[in-house]
A and B are shown apart, each in its own frame.
Chain A
Amino acid sequence: MTVAWRPGRGPGWALLVVVSVVMAAPVAVTVWSITDPSVEVWRELWRTRLPGMIVETAMLVALVVTGTVIVGTALAWLVTAHEFRGRRLLSWLLMTPIAIPGYVLGFVWLDTLQGPLGARAVRSIWLCAAVLIVSLYPYVYVFAWSAFREQSPRTIDVARTLGRSSFAAWWRVVVPMARPSIAAGAALVAMEVLTDVGTVRLFNVSTIADGVLRVWFGTGNRDAAAELAVLLVVAAASLIAVERALRGRARYTQTGARDATSGRPVTGLRAAAVNVAGWGVLCIAVVVPVARLVGWALRAHRLGQTETISGDLGFHTASSLKVAGAATIACLVIGTTMVFIARDRGRWGAALGRLASLGYAVPGPVVAIGVVVTLAALDRRGWWSGEVLLVGSLAGLVYAMVVRFLAVAHHGIGASVSKVSASAVASARTLGAGPLRVATRVELPLARAGVIAAATLVAIDSLKELPVTLLLRPFGIEPLPVWVWQATSESLWVQASVPSLMIVAIGMPLVGLLLWSVERGAQVVS
């Protein structure tokens, strides 16, 4: 909450418009490409792969969304509706799979199941969906979990006294009330499936995103790739429409105590069942993959396969840290600025804020292609003195990352800042602090946990990001996901394990930091 008016709001508007336009430009440019279609390519695609691509994309999205909603909601129910030894630890650990990218989980299970299932059967859309479900369920889990925790235990008590069993009370009352949150998590999952290029490639599933990459690298026809990417935008937009419809107009707010729902104590067989379910998922998602990665990495070390032609592990790690670090800092600075300049500006301010956050609702390949096209246009104009080209520069890659992940920072920081009590802000204003001083001295310090959470989320996301990195990496920068991509495309699991393990090793402490800040009241889901 903020003060309802302030004198002099001129420069803020200009800055807001500039940021929004710069952030939305790549998406607009990609969509614009459809106005001049490459008819030949489309005809060819339609005759060959396009119908299959659309069907497989739709199937994969449907399978993964259904699976993550079931797994994520069920796990959240297990750890909030029951009280057992180690519940707290388990409820935190269940979020750690977000540190392991789908394309890493994919090749580990591909190899592990190749023996029992056979090399042909293993590369199926079903297994691909299973891997994506295991790697993406935390998005639904975290939303459902915080929605469940926010509900007053009295709601369940009332349902119980009205004659419902414990499970029925959850199913009929708690889950429906959490539906908007679960839908939001499911939308994120759908977006991640649309953007995925690494996992689907492993399992020979040909989706639209995969098609965009094949056209881009295979034929070199960038216009056709951009036009195909428009299909992804359409898919993403329709998914968002579905999510909005599912959310409905319902805005569930609860009054009264918000103390964490206390679970029903379970012992004996029931406790064992709960534990087996929770730890079982963790084994599949984290324990087994990390164990196998460590095994392979040790072998790679013995064989001396811990480097690529570009450089050693240190070089690739430094590349990753450089890109993720720069993207995180840029997202934080721009996101924080957006939070403070976009609010209190009515409908237009909110609209511009959403425009700047557009990139998150658009699959990675679209953003990457849009950035390439935008920057190439700027380079051709030669606005910049000297020979500096924006395409293929670190700045270009970071720009694309910011377009893609600004929304994470913007929403996270915004949600936490809005929780700062209105009367604290009012007190500061009357004590002589202007809007800027209130922001830096009162609101941001109080929202610190939220800022940290937003930063870690952006860092984890940009560390894992494959399509944007693949299309935009500048010469001399080879982040870890690219190494994984190159090694796995030749089925060199041993080599791929080294960068994979490094991604997990950097990601896990970040997840720890994320959980720490959530514990301190950070708002990651809004």
Chain B
Amino acid sequence: MTAAVGLVSVTRCIGERPIVDDVTLEVRERELLTLVGPSGCGKSTLLRLIAGLERPSGGAITLGGLDVTDVAPERRRIGLVFQDHALFPHLTVGRNIAFGLRRFDRRRRAERIDEMLELVRLPGASRRYPHELSGGEQQRVALARALAPDPAAVLLDEPFASLDASLRDELRADVVAALRERGAAALLVTHDRDEALALADRVAVMRDGAIVQVDRPEVVWSLPNDEFVARFLGPVSLLSNGHGDFEIVRPHQFDFVGGGSDRVVEREFRGAVWRHTILRADGTQLIVDAEPGQDLEVGATCAVHVRPGHQLARLSRP
């Protein structure tokens, strides 16, 4: 099966400095891939390269198996959704959605607009102007506009970043549902690790212009390639095994019993669990989750051990 989006050794330099450094990556048909990394790591540039808004200094980009490295953005059939949604403020919602539907005749265009507004759960909004909509509604229209011409792939650049938390969860679910319903391959860029893990079929972690790891969310979470990925995706403890290697352990993979040489120095309530910071006798700190009822007070002594049955990532410290 050919990939919806394929990148082969794509590099983008500004001056001598590589912003995107030898990236090889594919987004499969009907797949939602999230691209996550700290700000300034080159995520957005990678997106602009795929859309054709910037030209790679080296490497090749394919869409649906065709080389599009030298193809202008308007010929690539890419849908693009920005954080600031970038709706055309002088056009109504309907005409925004119709912007990419030039080859459609009038009847099919009207049908498609209705279909898209139905899809993003904004039926009847066609005649309104962008400024009359809320932030979340504007983002829905932006998605409808991107999906309307049946693009080969949809690229979303931090689409939920400007929305407040309560709105974000609902919109996220709707956006994913809409993407799935259209069967579109999608690449979603975010700096929010929870978002990246929650939405993705696969997660790609980026750092300093390079892709560090690509895999299913549960794999990158529990079996990270290196310490950066481990720490970037969530709280983690490093357990040295004494031979220069160390194991990385997520908070839920620990268990403890009262009385021992370890001591609780801090704890916070996270809803489903209490998260403890525990200081070991050798000076290392561990982060350990325990369900309410199993938790310990600050100052309590305990003995921490890894729960049996968990496969742990083993890394050698550089």
Contacts and interface: CB of A to CB of B under 8 A. Distances in A.
Interface string A1-21: 001111100000000000000
A4 B55 contact: yes
A434 interface: yes
A429 interface: yes
Most buried by B among A7, A423, A428, A445: A423
B86 interface: yes
Contacts of B77: 432
Interface string B167-209: 0000000000000000000000000000000000000000000
A423 B88 contact: no
Interface in A105-143: none
Given A4-B54, A426-B51, A433 B80 contact: no
B90 interface: yes
A426 B53 contact: yes
Most buried by B among A431, A432, A433, A442: A431
A195 B108 CA distance: 60
Interface in A1-58: 3-7
Size category of the binding interface on chain B: 20 to 34
Contacts of A423: 82, 84, 86
B78 interface: yes
A442 B88 contact: yes
A446 interface: yes
Contact of A446 (B80, B82, B89): B89
B73 A446 contact: no
Contact of B73 (A424, A430, A445): A430
Contacts of A430: 51-53, 73-74, 76, 78-80, 146, 151
A212 to B, nearest CB: 47
A429 B82 CA distance: 13
B74 A426 contact: no
A334 B148 CA distance: 36
A491 interface: no
Contacts of B80: 426-427, 430
Given A431-B145, A432-B102, A446-B89, A426 B84 contact: no
B99 interface: yes
Interface residues of A, number: 21
Most buried by A among B48, B74, B75, B86: B74
Contact of B55 (A5, A429, A432, A433): A5
Contact of B52 (A424, A427, A428, A429): A429
Contacts of A7: 70, 72
Contacts of A426: 48, 51, 53, 73, 80, 82, 86
Contact of A4 (B53, B74, B79): B53
A293 to B, nearest CB: 41
B224 interface: no
B100 interface: yes
B86 A3 contact: no
A486 interface: no
Given A430-B79, A432-B149, A433-B99, A3 B88 contact: no
A442 B87 CA distance: 10
A424 B52 CA distance: 15
A399 to B, nearest CB: 34
Interface in B48-102: 48, 51-55, 70, 72-80, 82, 84, 86-90, 99-100, 102
Contact of B82 (A5, A427, A442): A427
Interface string A436-460: 0000011001100000000000000
Contacts of A3: 52-53, 73
B79 A6 contact: no
Contacts of B142: 427
A6 B86 contact: no
A442 B88 CA distance: 7
B86 A433 contact: no
A421 interface: yes
A4 B90 CA distance: 24
Interface in A131-190: none
A5 B73 CA distance: 10
24 contacts: A3-B52, A4-B55, A5-B54, A5-B55, A423-B82, A423-B84, A423-B86, A426-B51, A426-B82, A427-B88, A427-B146, A428-B99, A429-B52, A429-B73, A430-B52, A430-B151, A431-B74, A431-B99, A431-B146, A432-B74, A432-B77, A432-B102, A434-B74, A445-B90
Q: Which 7 A-B pairs have the closest CB atoms?
A: A431-B100, A423-B86, A429-B73, A423-B82, A430-B80, A424-B86, A427-B86
Interface of B: 48, 51-55, 70, 72-80, 82, 84, 86-90, 99-100, 102, 142, 145-146, 149, 151
Given A6-B72, A426-B80, 10 more contacts: A3-B52, A424-B87, A426-B48, A426-B73, A431-B99, A431-B145, A434-B72, A442-B88, A446-B88, A446-B90
Interface of A: 3-7, 421, 423-424, 426-434, 441-442, 445-446
